[in-house]
């Protein structure tokens, strides 16, 4: 799989069924941030959530190089970038 294929698959994830299944990216990441903030007793932002999820993918890639993890990593990077722009 080449880089363009990875990005195309990530793009399908971001705007496709997952958007239908989980709703707006910002709302979903706001909900996760609120719950994680309570648990960690530290205020997190939706952007923090996307970056932490990207780090989960990096940790998985440290164990095994699976195409799935590269696609998800690209998707979370794109989501983090979008959330950053929406926060301005």
Once rounded to an integer, what is the mean pLDDT over residues 21-32? Answer: 92
Confidence band of 20 (pLDDT split at 50, 70, 90): confident
The position carrying tokens 């960690």 is: 40
Kindly state the percentage of the chain with pLDDT values over 70: 99
Q: What pLDDT score does 35 carry? A: 98
Average pLDDT over all residues of the chain: 93
Contact 30, 87 (CB under 8 A): no
56-to-1, 4, 11, 20 alpha-carbon distances in Å: 21, 22, 19, 23
- pTM > 0.85: yes or no: yes
Structure tokens at 65: 């190089």
């Amino acid at each position: 799989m080449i880089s363009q294929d990875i990005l195309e698959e990530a793009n399908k994830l971001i705007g496709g069924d997952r958007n239908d299944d989980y709703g707006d990216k910002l709302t979903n990441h706001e909900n996760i941030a609120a719950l994680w903030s309570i648990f960690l007793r530290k205020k997190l932002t939706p952007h923090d959530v996307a970056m932490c999820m990207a780090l989960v993918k990096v940790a998985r890639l440290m164990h095994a190089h699976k195409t799935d993890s590269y696609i998800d990593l690209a998707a979370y990077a794109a989501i983090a970038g979008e959330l950053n722009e929406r926060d301005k």
